[in-house]
Amino acid sequence: VDVAPLPVAEVADAPAAEAPAPPPPPATSLEPLTTAVPAPQAEQPITAPAPTTLGPPDAMGGQRIKPFGGEDTSLMLEQHSERSQDLLVDAVENAQVAEIKRAVFRALTRLRAA
């Protein structure tokens, strides 16, 4: 940003007719940009990847791939989750019983002390 220097005050004897020239108007941000727009590139056709042929399972050296998951796996996981939930419920019930026993013991101790 260019800033014009401030005019220096002249001696009072100087004639008033020699007033300094007004500063140039400031640049605005509405001026058009002068950057070049890149030319559009030619579109290249999209090609599908080459298909691969696997052939029968015997062609892979006699190796057979075991299917992922199965009904027996899902049943085993369901049974495990049921056992885990049962264990958690039993633990909560045991904690509640223990807390009730503690409360009764405290109440009896207070009654004996009274």
More confident residue, 91 or 11: 91
Residues 6+ apart with CB under 8 A from 57: 63, 64, 65
Q: Please, which pLDDT band fits residue 109 given cuts at 50, 70 and 90?
A: very high
Nearest to 20 by CA among 35, 10, 34: 10
CA 67: distance to chain centroid?
Answer: 35
Place of tokens 């090609």: 47
Mean pLDDT estimate for the chain = 76
% residues pLDDT > 70 (the chain) = 52
Burial class of residue 74 in the structure, from the number of CB atoms within 10 Å of its CB (0-12 exposed, 13-18 middle, 19+ buried): exposed
Predicted confidence (pLDDT) per residue in 51-92, tens digit: 666 555 555 566 677 766 677 888 899 999 999 999 999 999
- The per-residue pLDDT for 56 is 57
The CA-based dihedral angle spanning residues 19, 23, 25, 26, taken in that order and rounded to the nearest 10 degrees? -150
Residue pair 16/9 in contact (Cβ under 8 Å)? The answer is no
